[in-house]
Amino acid sequence: MKQLFTKTFYFPQQHIVLLKNRGLLIADEEKAAGYIYNIDYFRLSAYFYPLLKFPKEQHLYKPGATFVQALNMYRFDRKLRLLLFNEIEKIEVAICSCITNAVSEYFNDLFWITNPTYFFNMQSFRYTQDTIDAELKKSKEDFILHFRSAYTDDYPPAWMITLQDLHEPER
């Protein structure tokens, strides 16, 4: 049965006391409190979980389990995630480049991405067009600003549009 969330805010030092009471070894409480403050207890709690004894619902740590072990798992996970995202970005750039080059060559049209005759689905084209319009309107990229100042075309060639999309920081 559902209930109201009644847990209260804990300062990092209170989390330290809680973890120690549950059997986690913490050699440097001040450093541990700093990590909890900067990383957040909730985020770190996923890395404390493998250190729990069974049944895990009791929230008691295995003998010898340390804060540093959890922190090392967090660091490993973070490094792995950064490595993977870096490689995924390379793959995304390569795929985007291949598609842009292949379609530009196939249609012999550098502006294919803004040409409705190459779209089977007009709803898809309108969505693409709206997205491109919004991205170009807010773009501060030098290559887009240069294109606007140097050329009369409504849109830049496809590779500039796809490059603009890849430069979006929130993606």
Residue 64 DSSP class: T
Answer yes or no: are the C-beta atoms of 27 and 16 closer than 8 Å: no
Cis geometry, peptide bond prior to residue 55 (ω within 30 degrees of 0): yes
Quote the pLDDT of residue 167.
Answer: 46
Write the pLDDT tens digit of every residue in 124-156: 999 999 999 999 999 999 999 999 999 999 999
Answer yes or no: are the C-beta atoms of 125 and 119 closer than 8 Å: yes
91 is written with which tokens?
């793959």
Q: pTM for the full model?
A: 0.70
Answer yes or no: are the C-beta atoms of 74 and 39 closer than 8 Å: yes
| pLDDT confidence band for 162 (50 / 70 / 90) | confident
Domains of the chain, by residue range, sit at 12-79, 109-167
61 is written with which tokens?
């740590």
The gap between the terminal CA atoms of the chain, to the nearest Å, is 38
Write the pLDDT tens digit of every residue in 89-126: 999 999 999 999 999 999 999 999 999 999 999 999 99
Quote the pLDDT of residue 164.
Answer: 60
